[in-house]
Amino acid sequence: MNTREMFAKAIKGGYAIPAFNFNNMEQLQAIIKASAETKSPVILQVSKGARNYANQTLLRYMAQGAVEYAKELGWEKPQIVLHLDHGDSFELCKSCVDFGFSSVMIDASHLPYEENIALTKKVVDYAHQFDVTVEAELGVLAGVEDEVSSAVSHYTKPEEVVDFATRTGCDSLAISIGTSHGAYKFTPEQCTRDPKTGKLVPPPLAFDVLDAIMEQLPGFPIVLHGSSSVPQEYVDIINENGGKLPDAVGIPEEQLRKASKSAVCKINIDSDSRLAFTAAVRKVLTDKPGEFDPRKYCGVARDWMEDLYKHKIVNVLGSDGKA
């Protein structure tokens, strides 16, 4: 399905739809199990990095298989979107539309404003012929995600959003209010340090900018990228088992919970599942140095990711029971 009805319900209901990236079978199984068990609508995202890693054709049929798997798990009418994350050209978006994706993102946020509008509109005009929904982006996020990176962030300008949404016809808008891609969302200099624990405390999201955008575009679906929380428990397990992730820091979950209750109806979470996977694999291999069956550590990683996804659905986004 596409995102239109899903987002309308989420805005009305005061929750957000999880958008989880997948690159492999274990991740997809964990996403589907968590969504089926909690009856949460879910967006499966395919990034450029995922297509390079796993092959676009394979990922597309894995998603189709996931729908059947969800039904086998007892989810009678699975509400699953297959979405292109950070499409960077008309040709790529077109190929995903032609290939059966139900939603695409065209990210032309790095281009000058008028060029962003022109490219986004071109994708919208094509995608809408096939009832495929389009996410656009205005403003620039900092951080590194696969092949998307920027050293600095520029908050979305509220005075531009009506003009942009009207002229492009996009179905949802990814905005920049201080979220960031990757596991190092902020430099230590941007943070304060908790005097008790010595841990970094990130700067708060710009809710004033979000409020101003919602005032300009009442009821319009808003998307947050780069919204992993970088749970300290995973970072600690990774570091205790031979890893090296000093000062990794994410977006506190209570800020995402607050955003979920607003017109923010899609929240992208990728890094947290990478951390859960890596923490599990490192721990199993440290505890059992003789293990060489990938199912024995990837299986544990899958369980940890499933727990993480359920936690996000139930405790952060509030999308459980909505599908």
The set of catalytic residues is 85
Cα–Cα distance for residue pair 309/323, rounded to 1 Å: 16
Strands of 159-218, DSSP E: 172-175, 180-181, 192-193, 200-201
Query: Is 10 or 223 the residue whose CB approaches Zn ion more closely?
Result: 223
Closest separation between CB of residue 58 and Zn ion, Å? 22
- Looking at the Cβ atoms of 89 and 192, the one nearer to Zn ion is 89
**Strand ranges (E), 139-219:** 142-145, 148-150, 172-175, 180-181, 192-193, 200-201
Cβ of residue 156: shortest distance to Zn ion, in angstroms?
14
Nearest approach, Cβ of residue 225 and Zn ion (Å): 3
Cβ count within 10 A of residue 144: 15
Which of residues 33 and 185 has its CB atom nearest to Zn ion in the complex?
Answer: 185
In angstroms, the Cα distances linking 42 to 94, 216, 307, 323 are: 22, 27, 15, 9
* Residue numbers at the binding site for Zn ion (CB under 5 A): 225
Q: Among residues 146 and 320, whose Cβ is nearest to Zn ion?
A: 146
Query: What is the bridge-based pairing of β-strands 148-150 and 142-145?
Result: antiparallel
Report the residue closest to Zn ion, judged by CB: 225
Rounded to an integer, what is the distance from CA 162 to the centroid of its chain? 24
Q: Which two tokens stand for residue 308?
A: 């993480």
CB of 146 to Zn ion, least distance (A): 9
